């Protein structure tokens, strides 16, 4: 897992950027769909469920790619707390990308809802109906989503700090796949 | 790659850019979430208004709060299979049902004789993991056609704290502003209250789409027509705030109760986005099969308690229409469900803190 490559591999970068767009979209779709009674509500919900399950599938692929290809080392002169924060935040992002769709799926099962991704495509129930479990998971789905958004803002701040202030090649390792100095 | 030459822009400017990017994203998120948009009609505000009118009754539905669970089955005769490919319509197909009879309003201790309307919600369990849920009212048309108008109607009908009755002036002002309520008002004027849940017609009111095996769409409304003949509420019943549940129990003791599921097919040009308008009498009607109800349970521990009869939980072969009420119902029922399941989870004895009729 700790094998070092010089930069992020092409699959790692493709996955990072496609998933960055998907996860950001999911946050906006989710927060938007529960805040309107207009017809946007229905079509956003219809988008939310399949896109969320796609993220679940992709994050598994992504963890395999990471395990296979490794990640580049951070610059040697990076302060230890920033290094620790980078590693911790990346694991939090992975954990939330995995947890959010699983909670969404389990929550709908617990609420007794069919988990319909598209007309005719219904996922199996993960748990049997329970209002108590539904309620706990529904709460978690909201608060973990808000935490995910907060961590992404910090992540983006850090990426821009690397790209615009430190200009140490960390951002380029994810954009252009260039090596650190 | 080596570190580049000194920055063309100063560091403060670069920090400002970073700050701006973050601020714009956070603001956009707050806007989409409705926090910066107090005028938007959100599910939250809709449910708050229902609570303003009826009070908060923990664990109960925010509308149609007083009701009873029933179970039974639907037996399809195959007549609707040419219109919809949903497996529930295959000839001879039996689908288990969990249903709920209720009266409108957010008060779980309301008097059964007061509202002119009864409601019937059904969940059809299909053979795969699919379900068909429908919540129907015993009336021919809905008073309003948009969620905004429904919200305004709720606000206009807020009971006065002293008299417990809505302000008549506000109500007539609302109806004057909303001519689409005329068909409903005309019906309400002459409608007789039924003596029972089991002897009235129920109606989906909103239009839906049936999609057949070839992928062709047919706009439909559906309803239930009872085998039991209609009789009006008696004076004796009027005295008993719970006469509907007693009647239901008595009737079910005598035997199962039956309805025919009648599907009405729109002609091209019939309004599909307006639940205040009936379709002309001569539209094709199909008897799709028989709904049989066998037994009833109190909602406090019955199988319907934790079901959200969201009208957009539909199997393949049935879909929503362009009726704007559908999306609003889906959003508002979910918020009501979130609140009542949270209250249920928080209380040790779910839904039983108030006297249960
Ligand atoms: C990366 C994945 C996901 C993210 C970031 C995400 C995010 C969100 C957000 C922000 C909300 C609004 C919460 C609120 O304001 O209360 C939400 C609601 C919801 N999510 Fe997700 N979600 C994800 C995956 C899923 C999946 C896979 C499903 C189901 C298959 C799902 C089902 C739902 C449902 C049904 C609601 C609304 C429930 C209601 O009406 O109360 N989500 N989601
Ligand atoms: C929107 C702008 C974004 C930018 C500019 C950005 C930039 C970057 C950069 C430069 C790295 C490499 C850090 C390193 O060398 O260790 C990285 C890694 C990472 N990013 Fe992003 N990112 C963005 C959005 C997101 C989003 C929305 C997510 C998903 C939740 C995400 C998840 C991750 C994860 C999990 C890693 C760690 C990769 C690994 O070590 O396996 N990023 N990002
Ligand atoms: C925008 C318009 C509407 C709003 C905001 C609204 C709101 C609600 C709410 C909050 C509930 C409680 C849901 C729950 O907690 O499970 C409910 C139940 C119900 N509504 Fe509506 N409603 C609307 C339109 C309609 C229409 C057009 C019909 C006509 C068919 C209808 C029929 C019912 C029925 C039958 C129930 C009871 C379902 C049950 O027994 O669980 N509603 N409504």
* A77 has a chain B CB within 8 A of its CB: no
> CB-based contact (8 Å) between A99 and chain B?
no
**B213–chain A Cβ distance below 8 A for any pair:** no
DSSP element (H, E) containing B122: strand B119-125
Query: What is the dihedral sign for C-alpha B132, B135, B137, B143?
Result: negative
Which of B64, B178, B218, B260 is labelled catalytic? B64
Q: Which of B334, B343, B344, B348 is the mutation pick for testing A, counting most A CBs within 10 A? A: B334
Q: A36: Cβ–Cβ under 8 A, 6 or more apart, which residues?
A: B34, B40, B41, B42, B43, B331
Tell me if A48 is assigned to some domain.
yes
Contact between chains at B129 and A125 (C-beta distance less than 8 A): yes
Partner residues linked to B208 by β-bridges? B220, B320
Looking at every residue in chain B, the average pLDDT score rounds to: 94
Give yes or no: B218 in active site. no
> CA nearest B12 in A: which residue?
A165
Instruction: Tell me the per-residue pLDDT of B16-71, one tens digit each, with 9 for 90 and over.
Output: 999 999 999 999 999 999 999 999 999 999 999 999 999 999 999 999 999 999 99
If you take atom 25 of ligand 2, which residue's CA is the nearest one? A20
The structural domain count of chain A equals: 1
Q: How does pLDDT run across A116-147, given as a tens digit for each residue?
A: 999 889 999 999 999 999 999 999 999 999 99
What burial class does residue A83 get, using C-beta atoms within 10 Å of its C-beta: 0-12 exposed, 13-18 middle, 19+ buried?
middle
User: Residue B31, annotated ligand binder?
Assistant: no
Which distant-in-sequence residues (6+ apart) come within 8 Å of B280 by Cβ?
A: B267, B270
CB-closest option in B43, B316, B350 to A37: B43
Say if A80 is an interface residue toward chain B (CB within 8 Å). no
Q: Which domains does chain B have, with CATH numbers?
A: 65-322 (2.40.180.10)
Residue A109, domain CATH:
1.20.950.20
CB count within 10 Å of CB B52 equals 14
Q: Is residue A181 part of a domain?
A: no
* Residue having the nearest C-alpha atom to atom 24 of ligand 2: A20
The predicted complex's ipTM stands at 0.94
Q: What is the pLDDT along chain B (357 residues), one digit of tens a residue?
A: 455 555 565 888 999 999 999 999 999 999 999 999 999 999 999 999 999 999 999 999 999 999 999 999 999 999 999 999 999 999 999 999 999 999 999 999 999 999 999 999 999 999 888 999 999 999 999 999 999 999 999 999 999 988 889 999 999 999 999 999 999 999 999 999 999 999 999 999 999 999 999 999 999 999 999 999 999 999 999 999 999 999 999 999 999 999 999 999 999 999 999 999 999 999 999 999 999 999 999 999 999 999 999 999 999 999 999 999 999 999 999 999 999 999 999 985 544 444 444
Confirm whether A170 is domain-assigned: yes
Q: Which residue of A has its CA nearest to B329?
A: A37
Please give the residue range of the domain that contains residue A65: 4-175
Q: Does residue A180 form part of some domain?
A: no
């Amino acid at each position: 897992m700790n094998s070092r490559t010089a930069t992020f591999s092409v699959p790692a970068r493709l996955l990072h950027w496609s998933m960055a767009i998907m996860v950001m979209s999911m946050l906006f779709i989710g927060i938007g769909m529960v805040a309107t009674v207009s017809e946007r509500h229905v079509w956003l919900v219809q988008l939310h469920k399949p896109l969320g399950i796609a993220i679940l599938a992709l994050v598994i692929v992504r963890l395999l790619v990471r395990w296979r290809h490794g990640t580049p080392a951070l610059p040697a002169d990076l302060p230890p707390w920033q290094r620790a924060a980078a590693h911790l935040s990346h694991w939090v992002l992975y954990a939330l990308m995995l947890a959010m769709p699983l909670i969404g799926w389990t929550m709908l099962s617990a609420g007794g809802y069919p988990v319909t991704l598209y007309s005719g495509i219904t996922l199996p129930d993960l748990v049997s109906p329970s209002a108590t479990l539904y309620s706990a998971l529904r709460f978690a789905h909201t608060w973990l989503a808000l935490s995910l958004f907060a961590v992404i803002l910090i992540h983006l701040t850090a990426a821009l700090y690397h790209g615009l202030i430190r200009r140490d090649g960390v951002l380029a390792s994810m954009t252009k796949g260039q090596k650190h100095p | 790659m080596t570190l580049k030459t000194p920055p063309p822009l100063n560091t403060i400017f670069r920090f400002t850019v970073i700050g701006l990017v973050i601020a714009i994203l956070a603001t956009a998120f707050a806007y989409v979430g409705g926090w910066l948009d107090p005028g938007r009609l959100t599910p939250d505000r809709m449910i708050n208004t229902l609570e303003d009118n009826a009070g908060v009754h923990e664990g109960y539905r925010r509308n149609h709060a007083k009701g009873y669970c029933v179970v039974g089955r639907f037996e399809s005769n195959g007549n609707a299979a040419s219109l919809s490919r949903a497996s529930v319509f295959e000839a001879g197909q039996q689908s288990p049902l969990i249903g709920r009879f209720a009266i409108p309003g957010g008060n779980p201790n309301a008097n059964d004789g007061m509202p002119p309307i009864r409601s019937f919600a059904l969940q059809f369990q299909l053979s795969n993991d699919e379900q068909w849920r429908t919540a129907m009212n015993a009336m021919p048309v809905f008073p309003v056609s948009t969620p905004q108008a429904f919200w305004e109607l709720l606000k206009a009908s807020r009971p006065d704290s002293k008299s417990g009755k809505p302000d008549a002036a506000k109500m007539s002002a609302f109806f004057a502003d909303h001519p689409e309520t005329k068909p409903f008002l005309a019906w309400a004027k002459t409608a007789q209250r039924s003596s029972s849940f089991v002897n009235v017609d129920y109606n989906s009111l909103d239009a839906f789409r049936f999609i057949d095996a070839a992928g062709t769409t047919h706009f439909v409304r559906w309803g239930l027509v009872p085998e039991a003949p209609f009789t009006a509420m008696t004076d004796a019943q009027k005295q008993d705030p719970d006469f509907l549940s007693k009647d239901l129990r008595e009737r079910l003791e005598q035997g199962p109760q039956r309805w025919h599921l009648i599907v009405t097919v729109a002609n091209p040009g019939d309004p599909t986005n307006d639940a205040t308008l009936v379709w002309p009498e001569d539209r094709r009607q199909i008897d799709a099969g028989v709904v049989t109800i066998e037994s009833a349970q109190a909602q406090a521990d019955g199988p319907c308690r934790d079901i959200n009869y969201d009208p957009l939980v539909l199997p393949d072969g049935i879909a929503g229409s362009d009726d704007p009420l559908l999306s609003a119902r889906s959003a508002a029922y979910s918020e009501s469900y979130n609140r009542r399941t949270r209250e249920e989870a928080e209380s040790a004895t779910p839904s039983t803190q108030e006297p249960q009729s």
